[in-house]
Structure 1
Amino acid sequence: MPATGSAQGSDPENTLYLDLKDGRVVIQLRPDLAPAHVERIKKLARAGFYDGIVFHRVIDGFMAQTGDPTGTGRGGSNEPDLKAEFSSEPYKRGTIGMARTNDPNSANSQFFIMFGDGSFLNGKYTVWGEVVDGMEFVDNITRGEPPANPDKIIKMHVAADAQ
């Protein structure tokens, strides 16, 4: 598969599999934009951190947020927070960004997948990946803040580890 745009192509070390109830989402990691965030996501995925975590904030037409083991939107991993790696990469359908508090350097483990355009986020949240296959499964995530019966990440892993 040839590389598209400035994405990394089909490098298994920079590809994530996000298994949801309806199928597999393939995520192209963007170490060219956010190397520290990509390393954090891979480290947590390899540790099984994301397996079983719910999508705690899902806003129709906007995004689906996950990555909090408490399911409240207030939790994170035991790793230290990350410094922002903002870029000019636009927030659009399939873009994956790191959630944070009002402090730009507070990203930890929570992330969100865009359902549509979010240009108002451009340059304010770290982009670390993009959905390259399976966006229809993201579209099926149960909506709500929080959803009454939230969907979970069944398993998230680095493609290189699945071979």
Structure 2
Amino acid sequence: MTLKALAGMAMLAASLACAGGAAAQEAWRDVAPENIWVLDTSKGRVIVALAPEVAPRHVERIRTLTARGFYDGLGFHRVIPGFMAQGGDPEGTGAGGSDLPDVPGEFTFRRGREAGFTPLEVRPGQPLSGIVGLMPVVTQPDAQMMVTADFRVPATARFCPGVLGMARSNAPDSANSQFFLMTAANPGLDGDYTALGRVVQGLDVVSAFKPGDPAQDGAVTADPDRIVRARMASDMPAAERPSVRIPAPGAPALVAATAAARDVCNVVVPVEVAGGAQ
């Protein structure tokens, strides 16, 4: 083999190595710091990745109230094991809120190609489901985008374990400051409540919160677990700021996770969380 041929092979190998490295980088993407919600609680740290592509107005409300320090010191007044933990009420009764106007419901969203979508295998008699970012959703196929005016299709987030939802009264557009973190799947909430993010670290912390339900007994939960401090990662000093990486749409790790699940709530999305020790 000539020196010229060897040099050519070396250049090809280097090119392939670079391509492989680029592909590895493209397989993961960073969650923007302004979409990382850090809750330091009396039981430990909970980190939530917010999903503005699913519920932009509700995500903005969380950011606004967090910047005000509104959530600092508030208790998880309603905690039902095997269901969810609810907080964000300054009265601790389930009836309180902020001085801001209520937020109209965002129970569905319009999914475009830019959001990315990794589907589960389509099964007869079942709707198309899959993952957008970290969010489990049911939706229509991408092919339907070609016949819609905005080149998007409707999608609804599923209330699976770890999903962050916004609490409300019986009025659909009454969400304000209260939120809940799911510890189990509950399809009865799908399409009726706004989902706006998902826990990426600390779901075990949420599951350990003290049970209580003032809606059932009419009494304020005594000595509930509390949010000591709530911050957006973007407002934290760089040395304290956690980083979160999630698989890009169609990444091998995400495709493998969806292929192994029969229900989108059973998909374990791989997540990398680094830094920001409490």
TM-score bucket of the superposed structures, by smaller chain: over 0.9
1:157 lines up with 2:178 in the alignment: no
Task: Describe how 1:112-151 pairs up with structure 2 within 5 A.
Answer: 112-146=180-214, 147-151=221-225
Which structure 2 residue ranges, 5 or more long, are not aligned? 1-24, 109-155, 215-220, 238-278
| Aligned-pair CA distance for 1:142 | 0.5
> Quick one: distance in 2 between partners of 1:22 and 1:53?
13
Query: Number of matched residues?
Result: 158
RMSD across aligned positions (CA): 1.2
User: What is the DSSP-based 3-state SS (H/G/I as helix, E as strand, rest coil) of the residue aligned with 1:136?
Assistant: helix
Could you tell me the TM-score, scaled by structure 2's length?
A: 0.55
> Quick one: distance in 1 between partners of 2:64 and 2:192?
24
Identical-residue share of aligned pairs (%): 49
Q: Identify which of 52, 56, 61 aligns with 2:82.
A: 61
User: What is the DSSP-based 3-state SS (H/G/I as helix, E as strand, rest coil) of the residue aligned with 1:113?
Assistant: strand
1:18 lines up with 2:39 in the alignment: yes
* Structure-1 residue corresponding to 2:160: 92
> Quick one: distance in 2 between partners of 1:29 and 1:68?
20
> Quick one: distance in 1 between partners of 2:79 and 2:202?
17
Larger RCO (CA within 8 A; separation ≥ 6): 1
- The structure with the greater share of residues assigned to helix is 2
Residues 38-65 of structure 1: per-residue CA shift (max 9 Å, x gap): 0010000010000000111111100101
Task: Describe how 1:74-113 pairs up with structure 2 within 5 A.
Answer: 74-87=95-108, 88-113=156-181
The answer as to whether partners of 2:162 and 2:198 remain within 8 angstroms in 1 is yes
| Aligned-pair CA distance for 1:153 | 0.6
| Aligned-pair CA distance for 1:31 | 0.2
Which structure 1 residue ranges, 5 or more long, are not aligned? 4-8
> Quick one: distance in 2 between partners of 1:124 and 1:116?
17
> Quick one: distance in 2 between partners of 1:140 and 1:58?
10
> Quick one: distance in 2 between partners of 1:115 and 1:159?
23
